């Protein structure tokens, strides 16, 4: 007897350890650290690919922006309903969040109910799936006596890949796991849910935010641990999200701050990136799944597939005679007969082997002790591979975060959920150990989400709700700036009335319609050397222009720019003109032409009543100028006197020209169709070629006019008359400086002006004047923006309600900032730095709102200019009795040239409102100086 025992003991020692054959059989599933590092590096490359705009379309790992910009900060509050779809349980919940700013004393209360999710719904019609969801919601509300009358915000955890452009919208890219309901792919699932809720009826629900379960899990854990910036699910499916720098998220505008990215790592390998790690068993699992070729990584990792992998391995080993003496049962051949719960049970510490035996017996197998050890080992290898792969993916994410932040070590918390992680006895420890081994320099903490994902979804919804209400109030504040088509038509009509009235009226009118004594655009015969002086834009400029006769587009220019100090603009007239004379002196020195006695043209960009080309009486200052003793005086004489006082050089000032006229002439030198000049800069104005016969003022003033164009005095009261007498068809038009900035000075624009516009007008140096200009030009837009921002801040909608001194200071919001703020790239970053310069500490949301304000103000300005322009070109067309007019507008001004959207909007509006005109807009290349020189050339040639 003893001998028999000894012999059997001896043989058992000789017999091979049953785990060894499994190790050999599953060699390809046992991943070493260097292989894991290799997989980790591949996943890092995939993340990069998914984030970049160029490669995203082709990327397997989608890296979806979630529009969640921060982890919880404790200021979230409110009561929410919540739905959780896509995990192993479908749940309806009620979540109450109590606010606890800063110290996170806030608390969360939850009530939940799990509802069944019948299998046939997963693969039936999408609308039926959502009907079931919304009926369950209604049942929950009834059961918990939640009021059906009140409106309830709802947080929606939807655990499938969705493309989101906002928090409350998400286009389903593809189903995963065991879902494949029809008619939802490519659709907005939030909308589908809303429609189902409407169909069910009787509830008032506001679906405010939709989040992936990874994101919701990160937020849940982030409520208690501010280092939690990664969310991980190892459940039915698998996935991870993390906080990425916004500058790396190409698909979302802006560069400031962070955004949570849902990696959708389950799809890692869908493009073949993992082919060399994939086994025959993985291929078989994939082939038998509802989504072959998809979610390759998920199929190696997640709960839905682990049991199946074990079954396929055991089946094959049995068939090869390596288990159960080669016998195979029907149950073992049946898909789904080994579950992830079985895998977990087989790996239990104490009862693992017994459990394994029970599980195999239930499959009608008759396992030996060694068979049980072997099958348990199969389970271990399969689940170990899963945790190793998750560790590799996580290492890639953590490495990326570390690099993003330029850190040598990283302290971070990973929020985790999912049945595999929660119920498999060894899984968490193995995962933690491998992650720490792969990233020894990181302090990684893993936190199991205590209350599922819905708490986090509610927190996201709370933020979304706050933002939505903020947005509503901002939209309301900005609504008076949004002009509809009818209002723009009205502005066009009023501008037209203004033009007509100005032409007819002898005395003052809001649109002054000042004759310029320029009778035609350049013809290329202009030649010689001229000086041009340009006062009234952002800067004073002095130019020397040389034309060669007959050679069009052959002008040479030399120029220098001088700034005019505010105290000079607003001092005495003498000081102002002395300053100009001094700048001219400097320019002549610079050019070495002090003794040249050149003919000069003076671009003076203010309304001047002219009686000849070389006299102009300033009607009124505009923009930032208010030098004394100038209004009512001839500005040419004032300049001549200043030069005389200096007694240093001589100039022959032969023409005074408005900047619009100079601009039109500059552009007409290149394009003969240019018969309109537009300035959209510090100020705004338009000039155009009007029929002489329409110009009343010319008639009235004929007697006092000094002729400089060769037309006999008294002959131009009627163009047709003159044509008959002289046969001179050319002189039938004169350029009119409209001074359209004055439209509305009689109150005719009061209905579109907002309270902010009225404030800006009242605080200006010329209240009640230039009302159209104050709605449209560079000098005022920044001020309008400041007024709106001030109001929003006072209402607590910006800067946490802090009205700082700088914000109360007029003029600090310079218009050039508008252009920067509205530029599409780098925008948020710039907004923030500009606001910081102003002493305003802005959050990301503040920056977005300020940008919105700028957009509304500049958009309206461009539309108004476009409406005005439509009136002008239509008038020209009607003057000429044409059905269709082709015309060019020469344009200058910083607003037009530097603002990122102004010119586009202006053009679009003008074209829309004057459909019978084909208007080309031509930016002036050398400013108005060349045009002034051209006018000077003609005037000089005509001088006696
Ligand atoms: C619990 C979360 C739920 C998520 C699930 C994943 O609250 O949102 O989808 O974990 O685990 P599973 O139920 O698929 O094992
Ligand atoms: C450049 C020149 C000048 C004109 C100015 C307007 O043509 O005559 O006044 O444009 O633009 P602003 O400098 O006011 O932006
Ligand atoms: C889905 C993910 C989800 C994960 C865990 C995957 O199948 O595509 O969106 O986060 O499962 O539930
Ligand atoms: C002036 C116009 C000028 C315009 C553009 C307005 O303030 O009144 O004469 O053309 O600004 O510079």
pLDDT in tens, 371-393: 999 999 999 999 999 999 999 99
CB-ligand 2 contact for 157 (6 Å cutoff): no
Please name which ligand lies nearest the alpha carbon of 741: 4
Residue 222's alpha-carbon distances to 413, 447, 457, 629, 843, in angstroms, are 9, 10, 12, 69, 20
| pLDDT (mean) for 123-139 | 97
| pLDDT (mean) for 730-748 | 94
Do 31 and 71 belong to one domain? Answer: no
Please name which ligand lies nearest the alpha carbon of 161: 3
Nearest CA to ligand 4 atom 12: 683
Query: Using CA atoms, how far apart are residues 818 and 810, in angstroms rounded to an integer?
Result: 15
CB-ligand 2 contact for 498 (6 Å cutoff): no
pLDDT per position as a tens digit, 295-346: 999 999 999 999 999 999 999 999 999 999 999 999 999 999 999 999 999 9
Whether residue 587 is contained in a domain is answered as: no
Q: Quick one: which atom of ligand 2 is closest to the CA of 605?
A: 9
CB-ligand 1 contact for 213 (6 Å cutoff): yes
Write down the pLDDT at residue 659: 97
Q: What percent of the chain has pLDDT over 70?
A: 92
Write down the pLDDT at residue 3: 59
Write down the pLDDT at residue 938: 86
Q: Quick one: which atom of ligand 3 is closest to the CA of 162?
A: 9
Number of domains in the chain: 3
Q: Is 733 helix (H, G, I), strand (E, B) or coil?
A: strand
Answer whether residue 717 shows pLDDT above 70.
no
Nearest CA to ligand 4 atom 9: 606
Query: Using CA atoms, how far apart are residues 470 and 467, in angstroms rounded to an integer?
Result: 5
> Ligand 4 pocket: which of 516, 604, 609, 658 to mutate (most atoms <8 Å of CB)?
658
> Ligand 3 pocket: which of 160, 218, 231, 270 to mutate (most atoms <8 Å of CB)?
160
Q: Quick one: which atom of ligand 1 is closest to the CA of 216?
A: 8
CB-ligand 4 contact for 605 (6 Å cutoff): yes
The Å distance, Cα 158 to ligand 3 centre, comes to 9
The Å distance, Cα 161 to ligand 3 centre, comes to 7
Task: Spell out which residues line ligand 3, taking CB within 6 angstroms.
Answer: 86-87, 159-161, 176-177, 212-214, 233, 235, 237-239, 264, 266, 298
Angle among Cα 881, 884, 885 to the nearest 5 degrees reads 85
Do 781 and 894 belong to one domain? Answer: yes
> Ligand 2 pocket: which of 560, 895, 927 to mutate (most atoms <8 Å of CB)?
927
Say which range, 309-313, 460-464, 712-716, 841-845, has the weakest mean pLDDT: 712-716
Q: Quick one: which atom of ligand 2 is closest to the CA of 897?
A: 15
Whether residue 530 is contained in a domain is answered as: no
The Å distance, Cα 441 to ligand 4 centre, comes to 65
Q: Read off the tokens for 835.
A: 């606001």
| pLDDT (mean) for 719-731 | 43
The Å distance, Cα 39 to ligand 2 centre, comes to 61
Whether residue 612 is contained in a domain is answered as: no
Please name which ligand lies nearest the alpha carbon of 623: 4
> Ligand 2 pocket: which of 607, 894, 922 to mutate (most atoms <8 Å of CB)?
894
CB-ligand 4 contact for 159 (6 Å cutoff): no
Query: Using CA atoms, how far apart are residues 59 and 516, in angstroms rounded to an integer?
Result: 63
Q: Quick one: which atom of ligand 4 is closest to the CA of 687?
A: 10
Query: Using CA atoms, how far apart are residues 4 and 777, in angstroms rounded to an integer?
Result: 108
Catalytic residue positions, numbered: 541, 605, 659
pLDDT per position as a tens digit, 77-120: 899 999 999 999 999 999 999 876 544 556 889 999 999 999 99
Categorize the per-residue pLDDT at 700 as very low, low, confident or very high, splitting at 50, 70 and 90. very low
DSSP β-ladder status, 442-448 and 410-417: parallel
Whichever domain contains 840, its CATH number is 3.40.367.20
Do 38 and 148 belong to one domain? Answer: no
Q: Is 784 helix (H, G, I), strand (E, B) or coil?
A: helix
Q: Are 175 and 291 in contact (CB under 8 A)?
A: yes
| pLDDT (mean) for 809-833 | 79
Nearest CA to ligand 4 atom 8: 606
Q: For tokens 């923030």, name the residue.
A: 832
Whether residue 599 is contained in a domain is answered as: no
Do 798 and 862 belong to one domain? Answer: yes
Query: Using CA atoms, how far apart are residues 66 and 156, in angstroms rounded to an integer?
Result: 13
Q: Quick one: which atom of ligand 1 is closest to the CA of 235?
A: 15
Residues ≥6 apart with Cβ < 8 Å to 448: 416, 417, 421, 422, 428
Residues ≥6 apart with Cβ < 8 Å to 215: 66, 68, 231, 241, 260, 262, 456, 460
CB-ligand 2 contact for 269 (6 Å cutoff): no
Q: What range defines the domain where residue 828 resides?
A: 485-506+740-923
Q: Read off the tokens for 677.
A: 């000049």
Do 97 and 194 belong to one domain? Answer: yes
Please name which ligand lies nearest the alpha carbon of 266: 3
CB-ligand 4 contact for 616 (6 Å cutoff): no
Say which range, 311-315, 548-552, 839-843, 856-860, has the weakest mean pLDDT: 548-552
Do 248 and 358 belong to one domain? Answer: yes
> Ligand 3 pocket: which of 68, 212, 261, 453 to mutate (most atoms <8 Å of CB)?
212
Write down the pLDDT at residue 101: 54
The Å distance, Cα 892 to ligand 4 centre, comes to 12
Q: Are 49 and 55 in contact (CB under 8 A)?
A: yes
Q: What interhelical angle do 369-404 and 303-319 show, nearest 10?
A: 140
The Å distance, Cα 564 to ligand 2 centre, comes to 14
Answer whether residue 727 shows pLDDT above 50.
no
What Rg value do the Cα atoms of the chain yield, rounded?
39
Categorize the per-residue pLDDT at 8 as very low, low, confident or very high, splitting at 50, 70 and 90. low
CB-ligand 2 contact for 893 (6 Å cutoff): yes
Whether residue 667 is contained in a domain is answered as: no
Categorize the per-residue pLDDT at 549 as very low, low, confident or very high, splitting at 50, 70 and 90. confident
Do 363 and 438 belong to one domain? Answer: yes
Q: What percent of the chain has pLDDT over 90?
A: 80
The Å distance, Cα 50 to ligand 1 centre, comes to 25
Categorize the per-residue pLDDT at 721 as very low, low, confident or very high, splitting at 50, 70 and 90. very low
Nearest CA to ligand 1 atom 9: 87
Whether residue 518 is contained in a domain is answered as: no
Whether residue 126 is contained in a domain is answered as: yes
The Å distance, Cα 701 to ligand 4 centre, comes to 23
Query: Using CA atoms, how far apart are residues 909 and 208, in angstroms rounded to an integer?
Result: 35
Q: Are 416 and 228 in contact (CB under 8 A)?
A: no
CB-ligand 4 contact for 773 (6 Å cutoff): yes
The Å distance, Cα 594 to ligand 3 centre, comes to 80
More confidently predicted of 838 and 868: 868
CB-ligand 4 contact for 739 (6 Å cutoff): yes
Write down the pLDDT at residue 553: 61
CB-ligand 2 contact for 664 (6 Å cutoff): no
Q: Read off the tokens for 812.
A: 């600090």
| pLDDT (mean) for 909-937 | 94
Answer whether residue 712 shows pLDDT above 60.
no
The Å distance, Cα 88 to ligand 1 centre, comes to 6
Do 312 and 426 belong to one domain? Answer: yes
Do 238 and 172 belong to one domain? Answer: no
Closest CA to 252 of 51, 400, 71, 48: 51
Flag whether the pTM goes above 0.85: no
Answer whether residue 715 shows pLDDT above 70.
no
CB-ligand 1 contact for 208 (6 Å cutoff): no
Do 23 and 82 belong to one domain? Answer: no
Do 59 and 78 belong to one domain? Answer: no
Whether residue 853 is contained in a domain is answered as: yes
Answer whether residue 704 shows pLDDT above 60.
no
Do 477 and 499 belong to one domain? Answer: no
Answer whether residue 724 shows pLDDT above 50.
no
Whichever domain contains 176, its CATH number is 3.30.420.40
> Ligand 2 pocket: which of 605, 623, 679 to mutate (most atoms <8 Å of CB)?
679
CB-ligand 1 contact for 415 (6 Å cutoff): no
Please name which ligand lies nearest the alpha carbon of 894: 2
């Amino acid at each position: 007897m003893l001998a028999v025992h000894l012999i059997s003991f001896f043989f058992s020692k000789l017999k091979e350890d049953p785990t060894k054959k499994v190790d050999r059989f599953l060699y390809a599933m046992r991943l070493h650290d260097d292989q894991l590092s290799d997989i980790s590096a591949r996943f890092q490359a995939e993340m990069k690919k998914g984030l970049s705009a160029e490669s995203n379309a082709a990327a397997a790992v989608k890296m979806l922006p979630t529009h969640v910009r921060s982890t919880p900060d404790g200021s979230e509050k409110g009561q929410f309903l919540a739905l959780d779809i896509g995990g192993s349980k479908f749940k309806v919940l009620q979540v109450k969040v109590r606010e606890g700013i800063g110290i996170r004393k806030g608390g969360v209360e939850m009530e939940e109910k799990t509802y069944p999710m019948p299998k046939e719904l997963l693969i039936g019609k999408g609308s039926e799936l959502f009907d079931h969801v919304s009926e369950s919601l209604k049942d929950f509300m009834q059961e918990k006596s939640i009021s059906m009358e009140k409106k309830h915000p709802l947080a929606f955890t939807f655990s499938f890949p969705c493309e989101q452009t906002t928090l409350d919208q998400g286009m389903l890219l593809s189903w995963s796991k065991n879902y494949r309901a029809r008619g939802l792919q490519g659709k907005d699932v939030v909308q589908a849910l809303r429609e189902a809720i409407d169909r069910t009826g009787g509830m008032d629900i506001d679906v405010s935010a939709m989040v992936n379960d990874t994101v919701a899990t990160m937020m849940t854990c982030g409520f208690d641990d501010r280092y939690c910036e990664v969310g991980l699910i190892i459940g039915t499916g698998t996935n991870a999200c993390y906080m990425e720098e916004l500058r790396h998220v190409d698909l979302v505008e802006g560069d400031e701050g962070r955004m949570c990215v849902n990696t959708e790592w389950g799809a890692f390998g869908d493009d073949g990136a993992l082919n060399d790690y994939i086994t025959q068993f993985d291929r078989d699992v994939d082939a038998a799944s509802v989504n072959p070729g998809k979610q390759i990584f998920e199929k190696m990792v997640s709960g839905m597939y682990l049991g199946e992998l074990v079954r396929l391995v055991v089946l094959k080993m049995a068939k090869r005679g390596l288990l159960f003496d080669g016998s195979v049962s029907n149950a073992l051949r049946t898909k789904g007969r080994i579950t992830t719960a079985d895998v977990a049970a087989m790996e239990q510490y104490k009862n693992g082997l017994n459990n394994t035996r029970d599980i195999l017996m239930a499959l009608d197998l008759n396992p030996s002790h060694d068979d049980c050890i072997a099958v348990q080992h199969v389970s271990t290898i399969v689940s170990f591979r899963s945790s190793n792969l998750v560790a590799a993916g996580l290492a890639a994410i953590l490495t990326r975060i570390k690099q993003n932040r330029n850190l040598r070590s990283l302290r971070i918390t990973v929020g985790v959920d999912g049945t595999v992680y929660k119920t498999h006895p060894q899984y968490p420890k193995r995962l933690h150990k491998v992650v720490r081994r792969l990233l020894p320099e990181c302090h990684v903490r893993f936190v199991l989400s205590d209350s599922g994902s819905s708490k986090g979804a509610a927190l996201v919804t709370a933020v979304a709700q706050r933002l939505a209400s903020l947005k509503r109030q901002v939209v309301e504040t900005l609504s008076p700036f949004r002009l509809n088509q009818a209002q723009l038509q009205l502005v066009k009509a009023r501008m037209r009335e203004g033009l007509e009235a100005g032409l007819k009226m002898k005395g003052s009118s809001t649109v002054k319609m000042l004759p310029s004594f320029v009778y035609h655009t350049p013809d290329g015969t202009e030649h010689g050397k001229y000086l041009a002086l340009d006062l009234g834009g952002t800067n004073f400029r002095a130019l020397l222009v040389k034309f060669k006769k007959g050679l069009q587009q052959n002008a040479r220019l030399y120029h220098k720019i001088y700034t005019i100090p505010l105290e000079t603009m607003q001092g005495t007239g003498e000081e102002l003109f002395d300053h100009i004379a001094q700048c001219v002196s400097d320019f002549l020195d610079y050019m070495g032409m002090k003794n040249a006695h050149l003919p000069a043209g003076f671009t003076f960009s203010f309304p001047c009543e002219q009686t000849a080309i070389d006299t102009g009486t300033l009607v009124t200052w505009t923009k930032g100028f208010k030098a004394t003793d100038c209004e009512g005086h001839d500005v040419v004489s004032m300049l001549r006197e200043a030069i005389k006082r200096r007694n240093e050089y001589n100039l022959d000032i032969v023409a005074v020209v408005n900047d619009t006229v100079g601009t039109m002439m500059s552009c007409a030198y290149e394009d003969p169709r240019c018969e309109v000049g537009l300035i959209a800069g510090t100020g705004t104005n338009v000039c155009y070629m009007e029929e002489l016969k329409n110009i009343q003022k010319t008639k009235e003033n004929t007697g006092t006019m000094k002729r400089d164009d060769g037309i006999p005095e008294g002959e131009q009261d009627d163009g047709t008359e003159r044509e008959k007498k002289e046969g001179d068809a050319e002189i039938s038009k004169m350029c009119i400086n409209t001074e359209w900035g004055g439209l509305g000075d009689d109150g005719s624009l009061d209905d579109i002006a907002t309270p902010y516009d009225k404030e800006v007008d009242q605080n200006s140096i010329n209240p009640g004047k230039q009302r159209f200009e104050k709605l449209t030009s560079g000098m005022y837009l920044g001020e309008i923006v400041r007024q709106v921002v001030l109001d929003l801040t006072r209402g607590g909608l910006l800067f946490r309600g802090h009205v700082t001194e700088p914000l109360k200071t007029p003029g600090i919001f310079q218009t050039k900032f508008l252009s920067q703020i509205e530029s599409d790239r780098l925008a948020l970053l710039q907004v923030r730095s500009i606001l910081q310069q102003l002493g305003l500490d802005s959050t990301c949301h503040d920056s977005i709102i300020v940008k919105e304000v700028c957009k509304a103000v500049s958009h309206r300005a461009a539309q108004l200019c476009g409406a005005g322009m439509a009136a002008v070109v239509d008038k020209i067309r009607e003057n000429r009795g044409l059905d269709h007019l082709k015309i060019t507008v020469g344009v200058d001004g910083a607003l037009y040239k530097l603002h990122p959207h102004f010119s586009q909007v202006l053009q679009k509006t003008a074209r829309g409102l004057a459909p019978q005109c084909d208007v080309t807009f031509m930016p002036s290349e050398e400013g108005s100086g060349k045009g002034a020189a051209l006018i000077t050339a003609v005037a000089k040639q005509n001088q006696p």
